[in-house]
Structures are given as structure tokens and as C-alpha cells.
Amino acid sequence: MNKIKTLLLSILIITGINVYAQNPAIINKPIQNTIQTQCQSVNPLDIVQRPNFYINKNVKIKAKFDKFSTLGLDYAPAMRSSEKYISFLIQRPDIQDHNIPLSELKIFINRDEAEKHIDLNSGDIIEFTGKVFSTALGDAWMDVNTFTVISSKPKEDVK
């Protein structure tokens, strides 16, 4: 019985080595998750008004970027370390004649991802997905999963 197990194991190993020799790139391919996370497109004001409804839900937001910030970082009840994360603010969508940040929504993005978008300006249109992970202080606290710049405002010439 042991000889049969050893023979079968040897065949499996040899077959695996042969497959790798024919296509070594397969070892370096990441395993892709075939389950797509469903995200609900929401108005950020709705999240602010009903944070408990959105807890642990995946959401998608399209908004005007305001600025990167340190708002909410290192706060123990909803801990996101300032070493790994940066927060950012979006502009309130209900006010068009002024740029007022929606500070009630705490949004956290990994610093490595944020550094790719360091040239963003206030008013640039972004879209991001993420999950509301806490309602500490009665506010919504959200981790960003994906971040996309939709459009950038034209740069003004400085004379």
C-alpha cells in the first residue's frame, strides 16, 4: 500500500514540475477572487444622516475632492494608524456656492494609494468604494478599497 502511495505522489510531483516547466509564469500569477464585492452607489449625505444603516456595507461615492487630512487618525474607538493611513475630505454636495468639507464622514485611505494622487486639487471629481466600519461619535468612519480620479479641474496659470 505504501508503494502505491509513493508512486502516486511521485507522479503528481513530476506532473506538477512538468506543468511548471512548460509555463513558469503560472506560479507568479496572483489568485484572483472571482467574487466581486457589490457596492451600492450612495449620496454621502445619506451616509452622514444614517451611519448605523450603512455599518459594514460596501458603498460607492462620486464626489468633489476637498483635501487630504489627518482628521480621525489614531482615535482609539475607530483606530486607523497615521503611520499606515491618511484621511481625506470631500466637499458637501448640498452646497454649490462655497467649498465646505463634509467632515462628518471620516474617510481613510492607505498612504501608499494616497501618494499616487498627491497632485489632486480641491474640486477634482473622484469616485471611491469602501466599507463603513464604525459609527464612533455618531459619525460614519469608512475604509477606502478603490479610488479613481474621474476628472481634474484645469490648472490656473499663475502670472
Please name each of the domains of the chain with its CATH number: 40-151 (2.40.50.140)
Q: Note the pLDDT tens digit of each residue in 22-40.
A: 554 444 444 334 344 689 9
Q: What band does 45 get if pLDDT is binned at 50, 70 and 90?
A: very high
pTM (two decimals): 0.73
Q: Which three cell numbers stand for residue 12?
A: 503528481
For residue 116, what pLDDT is reported?
96
For residue 31, what pLDDT is reported?
36
For residue 21, what pLDDT is reported?
47
Give the mean pLDDT of 143-157.
87
Q: Note the pLDDT tens digit of each residue in 77-92.
A: 999 999 999 999 999 9
By mean pLDDT, which of 4-8, 39-43, 63-67 is the weakest?
4-8
For 112-116, which contacts have Cβ atoms below 8 Å and span 24 or more sequence positions?
113/144, 113/147, 114/68, 114/86, 114/88
Whether residue 154 has pLDDT greater than 80 = no
Q: Note the pLDDT tens digit of each residue in 100-127.
A: 999 999 999 999 999 999 999 999 999 9
Whether the Cβ atoms of residue 107 and residue 90 lie closer than 8 Å to each other: yes
Q: What band does 41 get if pLDDT is binned at 50, 70 and 90?
A: very high
Q: Which three cell numbers stand for residue 34?
A: 472571482
